[in-house]
Chain A
Amino acid sequence: MRNTLLISIAVASLTFFGCSKRSNPGSGGAGTAPKAAIIAIDGSSTVFPITEAVAEEFQKGAKARVTIGVSGTGGGFKKFCNKETAISGASRPIKEKEVTLCKKNGVAYIELPVAYDGIAVVVHKENTWVDSLTVAELKKLWEPSAQKKVTRWRQIRPNWPDQEIHLFGPGVDSGTYDYFTKAIVGTEHASRGDFTSSEDDNILVKGISTDKLALGFFGYAYYAENKDKLRLVPVDDNNDANGKGPIAPSPTTVADGTYQPLGRPIFIYVAKEAAARQEVSAFVDFYLSRGAALAAEVGYISLPPRAYTLAKARYATRTVGSVFAGHGSKVGVTVEQLLSGK
C-alpha cells in the first residue's frame, strides 16, 4: 500500500512535468489545424444560441469539429484578434480599439450580420399606468445625470403615480447594455449606475416580474418566453418615417425596421485567413443559408432574405472590414442599407 502511494505520487509528478513538455506553440490557432480540423468560435452569449444551432446541424453532415466558447463580445474579439479563433460572435459592431488590435496582429475580418435582436423594455404585469415611453423619456430615466435624481414615476410623466421606480438592466459588460446606452442615451457605455444589473437575463425577468414598480430592458427572446409575467412597453422614437407613434417589438416590427431605435443586428466576424480553410468556408456558407430558419427556431428574428443575399455576396468576395468603421453601432439603419453601403 505504501509503495503504491509512492508510485502514484511519482506518476503524478511526472504528469505535471510532462505537461510543460507537451506544449507545442502555434497549434490550436486559427491558421493551423491540429488533428481533426477544429473550427474555433468564441464571442457573445447573445449570438451563441444561433451559432450552436448552426454548428449542431453542420456537424451532422461534416467531419470538422466546431467548438464554441462564450467569453462575451469583447472577450471574443480579444481572442479573435490574437488569432486564437476563426470566427467571433458579436452583439455589436467591432470597436475602434478592437479594430486597432486586429490590425496590429494582421487579422483581416469579414463582417456578416446573421440575425436581428430586439431589446424589449418591460414593466411588471400589474403596472397599469405605463402604456408607452418615448426615447426622450427613456433617456431622461437612464442618462448618467439621472442618478439619484429621477427616482419616481411621476418625474417621467406628471400623471403617473408618485411612487419609486426600480430599474433593472443587463451587466455593463454585455453588448446589450452597450447598444441600449448608445441608442437611448447617445453615448455608448454611459448610463446611471444605480440600477439592479445582472449578467443573467433570467434574473432580470424574475426581478421585474416580482416588483410592481420595476422597469427594465433585455433581449426580446427573454420577453417572448415570459409573456405571462411581464408587460411590454411600446417605444416611440418620434420619427414618423419608420412607423408612427409608439411601436412594440415583435418579429415583424424588428425585422422591417419600424421598432427603432432598439432593434439591432447581431454579427459573426470571420477571419480572412481562416476563411481560406475549406471547412471554415463550408461552415460560413452553411451559416448564411440555414441561419435564417435556425435563428428563428432559437428565438431570434431572421434578417430579410435580401440581407442574407447581400451577406453571401460580401462573403463570396471576401470583403474585409466593418461597415461601421469602428465607430460603434449605427442606430436606425437596416442591415440592407448597411450592406449595400447606403
Chain B
Amino acid sequence: MRHATRNRRRERFWESFFRKICLAAVALPLLILAGLLLNVLLDAAQRIDWSFISSYPSRKPALAGILPALVGSFYLVSLTAAIALPLGIGAAIYLQEYRGRSRIASLIEVNIANLAGVPSVIYGLLGLGLFVRTVGMGRSLIAGACTLALLVMPIVIMTAREALRTVPNTLREAAFALGATRWQAIRRVVMPQALPSILTGAILAISRAIGETAPLIVVGALTFVTFLPDGIDAPFTALPIQIFNWVSRPQKAFLYNAAAGIVVLLATMLVLNAIAVYFRHRLQRRWS
C-alpha cells in the first residue's frame, strides 16, 4: 500500500517535471526571440517611416531608403514561388502518386533530402554557372529567382510529398472504385485533401527564399541601385543585401537603418505568409 503511494508520488513528480521541461523548451526560444525583436524595434524606431520605405539608397543615413531592395525582394520571391511551386508540387505528385513505392522514387527522395541540406552558397555557384553564364541570363532578376527556386525546391517537394502521403489510400481506392481515372482521383480527391499542408510547405519555402543572401551575392545582386527593376532581365538588389551593407558600415546611424530594414523584411515576410495562409484557409473551407 505504502509502496503504491510512493510510486504514485514519484510518477506525479516526473509528470510535473516533464511538463516543466517542455514549458521551458517553449519559453526559452520565445524569450530570446522577444528580446531580439525588442532590440531591433528599438533601433528601428529611430529611422522607420514612410520616407525610409519610399527612398533610394544614399550616403546620408537619414536620407537612405530601402525602396529598390523592397521591390527587388518582392519580385524575386514572387518569381521564385511561381517557378518553384508548380515544379516542386508536380515532382511530388509524380513521385508519390505515380511512382508510389518504386525503388527509383525512394532513391530520388533520398537525394532530394540531401539537396535540402546543401549550403545555400553552393546553389549560388550553380546558379552563376548555369543560369548566369551558360543559359546567358546575365546577373538579372530572373537568374536570381531561378537560383532561389532551385534552392527551395527540395523543401517544396518534401513537404508536398509528405502531405500527399497523409491522404488515406482508402480515399484513392474509393475514387477508383467509382470509375475515376488517376488524374481525376488526384485532382478531385487527393489534392483537395493535401493542399493545405502543401501550402504550409510553400510558406516555409518562401520564408527561406526571402532571407537568403549568400547565393544572391554570388549570382550578382547589387548593393547600390537607384532604379526599380523594369523587367525580369534587369539588375536588382534585395532586402538582406541592403541590410548587410548597412550593418557593416562604421556610422551608427546606418545601424538604425539596418534595424529598420530588418523590420521591413519581417513585415514583408509576414505579408507573403499571410497571403499563403489566406489561400490555405479558403481552400480548406471550399473542399471540406
Contacts and interface: CB of A to CB of B under 8 A. Distances in A.
Interface of A: 1-2, 9, 11-13, 15-16, 19-20, 22-25, 27-28, 35, 38, 40, 45, 48-49, 51-53, 55-56, 59, 65-71, 79, 84, 199-202, 219, 221-222, 224-226, 294, 297-299
Interface of B: 57-59, 79, 82-83, 85-87, 135-140, 142, 145-146, 149, 187, 217, 220-227, 230, 232-233, 235, 245, 247-252, 255, 282-283, 286
Contacts of A52: 57, 59, 223-224
Contacts of A65: 226-227
B250 A67 contact: no
Interface of chain B, helix or strand or loop or mixed? loop
Contacts of A45: 245, 248
Contacts of A35: 230
B236 to A, nearest CB: 9
A69 B223 contact: yes
Given A56-B226, A226-B250, 20 more contacts: A12-B86, A19-B145, A19-B146, A23-B136, A25-B136, A28-B138, A28-B235, A45-B248, A52-B223, A66-B226, A67-B222, A67-B224, A67-B235, A69-B222, A71-B220, A79-B220, A202-B247, A222-B250, A225-B252, A299-B250
Contacts of B283: 1
Contact of A84 (B58, B139, B140, B224): B139
A225 B251 contact: yes
A58 B75 CA distance: 28
Given A1-B283, A12-B85, A28-B138, A22 B233 contact: yes
Query: Closest 5 interchain pairs by CB?
Result: A68-B224, A23-B136, A12-B82, A53-B59, A25-B136
B137 A71 contact: no
Contacts of B235: 28, 38, 40, 67
A200 B248 contact: yes
A219 B286 CA distance: 60
Given A22-B137, A38-B235, A48-B223, A9 B86 contact: yes
A56 B59 contact: yes
Contact of A59 (B146, B226, B282): B226
18 contacts: A15-B82, A16-B86, A19-B142, A20-B137, A22-B142, A23-B136, A48-B224, A52-B59, A52-B224, A65-B227, A67-B235, A68-B223, A68-B225, A79-B220, A200-B247, A202-B250, A294-B59, A297-B59
Nearest to B224: A68
A201 B224 contact: no
Contacts of B227: 65
A45 B138 CA distance: 22
Contacts of B220: 69, 71, 79
A52 B145 CA distance: 26
Contacts, number: 117
B137 A23 contact: yes
Contact of B83 (A12, A84, A294): A12
A56 B225 CA distance: 10
B288 to A, nearest CB: 13
Contacts of A48: 223-224, 245
A266 to B, nearest CB: 15
A299 B253 CA distance: 13
A45 B245 CA distance: 9
Contacts of A67: 222, 224-225, 235
Contact of A28 (B135, B140, B282): B140
B61 to A, nearest CB: 11
Given A1-B283, A71-B217, A225 B250 contact: yes
A1 B191 CA distance: 13
Nearest to A220: B250
B221 A201 contact: no
A12 B225 CA distance: 27
A201 B138 contact: no
Contacts of A201: 248, 250
B233 A49 contact: no
Contact of B222 (A2, A24, A68, A225): A68
A24 B217 CA distance: 22
B257 to A, nearest CB: 13
Nearest to A203: B248
B245 A70 contact: yes
Contacts of A299: 250-251
Nearest to A40: B235
Contacts of B138: 23, 27-28
Contacts of A13: 86-87
A263 to B, nearest CB: 17
A149 to B, nearest CB: 32
A298 B247 CA distance: 15
A117 to B, nearest CB: 12
Given A65-B226, A68-B223, A299-B251, A23 B79 contact: no
Contacts of B137: 19-20, 22-23
A225 B251 CA distance: 6
Nearest to A59: B226
A44 to B, nearest CB: 12
A221 B250 contact: yes
Nearest to A55: B224
B286 A1 contact: yes
Contacts of A28: 138-140, 233, 235
